[in-house]
Amino acid sequence: MNELRIGNLSIAIPIIQGGMGVGISLSGLAAAVANEGGVGVISSAGLGILYRNFSGNYLEASIHGLKEEIRKAKEKTLGVVGVNVMVAMTNFADMVRTAISEKIDIIIAGAGLPLDLPSFLKNDSITKLVPIVSSARAARLICEKWKTNYDYLPDAVVVEGPKAGGHLGFKEDQIGDNNYTLEKLVPQIVNELKPFEEKFNKPIPLFAAGGIYTGADIKKIMELGASGVQMGTRFVTTHECDASQGFKQAYLDAAEKDIEIIKSPVGMPGRAIISNFIQKMQDGKKHPKKCPYKCIKTCDIDKSPYCIILALINALKGNFDSGFAFAGSNAFRAKKISSVKDLFQSLLKEYRAS
C-alpha cells in the first residue's frame, strides 16, 4: 500500500476509518487511526446527546460536542483526522460549518447526496470534501453539480457497497443483487471520475467501503481501481474504539445468522446485529411516544417503530434490550479485541502476502 494524497494531505496508508455513530467513533478511535497513518474519522451523529450536560438544547450541545471531539483528537495526533456528517441530519449545516471552522482535515458526507457541500467553504478553508456515493450516477451528478455551481470537484470519493454496516444507499432488493456489488461499482465509478480528472487536471481518488475485512480484500478491490478503502466494522473491536465493552462484545458474540437487514425509521434499510430490542420491534411491541431530538430529516415519528437515536445511544452503553448495534456483513468474523496498531500491522501483512 503506497502513500496517497488527498489534495495537499499525505495519507501514509490509504485506509479511512469509517465514521460510526452514535458515539462509536469519536476522538479516541480517530486519533489512534491517524497515528498509524490512516484517516481517523469522528462521527458527528448524536453528539447533542453525548454532550447534553453542556446544554439541554440538542443543536447547541452538538456544536459544542464536535468542537470538543476535534480538539481532543488534535491533542492526541498530528495525523489526518476527518468528520463524518450525514446529509439526512437536521443539523447537517451546523456540523459542516463547525468542522470547517475548526480546521478539520476532511469532511466525509453521506446518507444523502451532499450537493451543496462546497457552499460552506470560505476563502481560508483548508478542509477537503469527500462525498459518499452508492452508484456511478451519483458520483457523476455530484461532480457535475459541484463544478457547475461552485467550481469545485471532490477531493476524493467513497463508494459504499451493499455489505456495509448501518444505513445503506440501496433498495432492499438491490442488497443481494450481483449487479450492485462493490466489485461492480468500483470500476464503474472509476470510469465516471476519469473524464473529470483529465479535463480539470485533478486526481479524485476512490475509496471502496462495505465488506472490506482483510488485507487481501484491500488488495483485491485496489486491483479493480480503488485508490484505498474505508473500513468501519474492523475498528469496532479495538481497544481504542469509543464504544462500551458491551457494544464490542455484541460483535464478538455475533454469528453470521445474527446479522440482518432491518427497516430503519430514517427510511433506508440498515444492517445490524439482531438484539432483544430488534426482536421486540419486529413483533410490533416498540413504539415511540415522542421525538425528543428531531435529529433526522426523513424520520416520521408518527410512522416510526422507534426512536433511532435513543436506540443507538442505548447500544453504545451495551443495553441491547433497548437498542441495537449497526454492523457490516463480516462483523461475525471478529474473535478478539486488539489494538489499532496491531490491526494495521495485520492488514499490511495480509495485503503483502496476497
Domain limits of the chain? 4-243+336-353, 245-331
Whether residue 299 has pLDDT greater than 70:
no
Dihedral angle over CA of 271, 180, 38, 224, nearest 10: 150
pLDDT at res. 287 = 61
pLDDT at res. 286 = 59
- Are 99 and 127 in contact, with CB atoms under 8 Å apart? yes
Whether residue 222 has pLDDT greater than 90:
yes
Q: Measured between alpha carbons, how far is 243 from 245 in angstroms, rounded to an integer? A: 7
Whether residue 351 has pLDDT greater than 90:
yes
Whether residue 313 has pLDDT greater than 90:
no
Whether residue 51 has pLDDT greater than 80:
yes
Q: Measured between alpha carbons, how far is 119 from 151 in angstroms, rounded to an integer? A: 10
pLDDT at res. 292 = 64
Q: Measured between alpha carbons, how far is 42 from 45 in angstroms, rounded to an integer? A: 9
Question: If you average pLDDT over residues 175-189, what whole number do you get?
Answer: 95
Architecture of the domain made up of 4-243+336-353: Alpha-Beta Barrel (3.20)
Q: Distance between alpha carbon 115 and the CA centroid of its chain, in Å?
A: 18
Question: If you average pLDDT over residues 205-228, what whole number do you get?
Answer: 98
pLDDT at res. 306 = 72
pLDDT at res. 111 = 86
Q: Measured between alpha carbons, how far is 268 from 260 in angstroms, rounded to an integer? A: 14
Question: pLDDT tens-digit profile of 5-18?
Answer: 999 999 999 999 99
196-205, 284-293, 328-337 — which is least confidently predicted? 284-293
Question: If you average pLDDT over residues 285-301, what whole number do you get?
Answer: 64
Given phi > 0 = left and psi -120 to 50 = alpha, else beta, which region is 88?
alpha
Per-residue confidence at 295, pLDDT binned at 50, 70, 90?
low
Three-state SS letters, the chain? CCCEEECCEEECCCEEECCCCCCCCCHHHHHHHHHCCCEEEEECCCHHHHCCCCCCCHHHHHHHHHHHHHHHHHHHCCCEEEEEEECCECCHHHHHHHHHHCCCCEEEEECCCCCCHHHHCCCCCCCEEEEEECCHHHHHHHHHHHHHHHCCCCCCEEEECCCCCEECCCCHHHHCCHHHCHHHHHHHHHHHHHHHHHHHCCCCCEEEECCCCCHHHHHHHHHCCCCEEEECHHHHCECCCCCCHHHHHHHHHCCHHHEEEEECCCCCEEEEECCHHHHHHHCCCCCCCCCCCCCECCCCCCCCCCCHHHHHHHHHCCCCCCCCEECCCCHHHCCCCECHHHHHHHHHHHHHHC
- Residue (of 107, 346, 337) closest to 240 by Cα position: 337
21-35, 102-116, 290-304 — which is least confidently predicted? 290-304
Given phi > 0 = left and psi -120 to 50 = alpha, else beta, which region is 117?
alpha
pLDDT at res. 301 = 64
pTM: 0.94
Q: Count of residues for the chain?
A: 354
- Residue (of 111, 47, 66, 26) closest to 309 by Cα position: 47
Written as one letter, the residue type at 126 is I
Quote the mean pLDDT of the chain: 93
22: preceding bond cis by omega (within 30 degrees):
yes
For the chain, the maximum distance between any two Cα atoms, rounded to a whole number of angstroms, is: 56
Question: If you average pLDDT over residues 111-128, what whole number do you get?
Answer: 96
